Structure 1
Amino acid sequence: MSKISAYINFKNNQCAEAMNFYQSVLGGELNLMPLKDSPMKDNFPAEAQGGILHADLTGPDFNLLGTDMPNSNIEATVGLVSLTITCATKAEVQQKFARFAEGGQVVHEIMTFFAGTMGNVIDKYGIGWGVFTEEK
């Protein structure tokens, strides 16, 4: 079975504030990874260090993700929502990725990494998709 989650790019380092607000409204468990505490901190300039690299708010029937980091592959990231779909298998990742890529733009080819297998694509309608499975 597939699961779709929303991934929001925030402006002006508002991710932590917004995600705490969403938690107050929706409940769930919130995990925030500040850029300055992440293994990727050296890949970003000093002015970005106060931002959130990754936020994850998970409840029994939802998963809302967010970041303060801009996406250089998309012209305007303020308020942009990228959808993430979690698939059961690598085969399903391949199939869904290929469909989203039809008439669109591949941002990151499908790859296997420590947490599973994933790829990123902007579909022909301009919507960003992360296609993921825990299967390696």
Structure 2
Amino acid sequence: MAQIHTYLTFNGNCREAMTFYKSCLGGKLMFQTVGESPIYNKMPKKMKQCILHSTLIRKDFVLMGSDMAPDTALIKGNTVALVLNCYTENDIRTYFDKLSLGGVVKHPLENTFWGALFCELTDKFGNHWLLNFNNQ
């Protein structure tokens, strides 16, 4: 079966963001800096501590990230959302409380007409989240 994973690009704060997501969601977090990679000699020395690749792994999801922004720069938009399907009501409430810290809640946690406990928020790093728990 195919899986879709989310890859986030940051502008120098990948370590901070991914560490925050780990504190919210749990899992195993790994980082590779530019300085630890084979491309180090091809990059400006100021990028040595930038995150080339990070991975947050849990049995039910993979979230990846990097500080390697394109030459065109990052453009924050509303075309990408991270959908987190939760297995319990406690999970969705816990994730909501943690991910919304310092962010903006666009749709509060509430029961929906489609039979789910749902919320929508933008975290403190500007990333858009949809949290869903099918409670039927």
Q: Which has the higher contact order (CA 8 A, sep 6+)?
A: 1
CA-to-partner distance for each residue in 1:15-52, whole Å, 9 max, x for gaps? 01111110000001000001111111112112221200
- Mapping of 1:54-133 within 5 angstroms? 54-72=53-71, 75-79=72-76
SS at match of 1:4: coil
Q: Which aligned runs of 4 or more in structure 1 are off by greater than 6 angstroms?
A: none
- The residue that corresponds to 1:10 in the other structure is 10
* Higher mean displacement: 40-49 or 13-22: 40-49
Distance 2:57 2:38 in 1: 23
Backbone CA RMSD of aligned residues? 2.3
Partner in structure 2 of residue 37 of structure 1: 36
Percent identity for Structure 1 against Structure 2: 37
Q: CA deviation at 1:10?
A: 0.3
How far apart are residue 62 of structure 1 and its match?
0.7
TM value normalised by structure 2: 0.53
- Give a deviation string over 1:64-98, Cα, whole Å, max 9, x none: 000001223xx34254798xxxxxxxxxxxxxxxx
- The one-letter amino acid paired with 1:46 is K
Unaligned runs of 5+ in 1: 83-136
Aligned pair count reads 80
In the other structure, the counterpart of 1:47 is 46
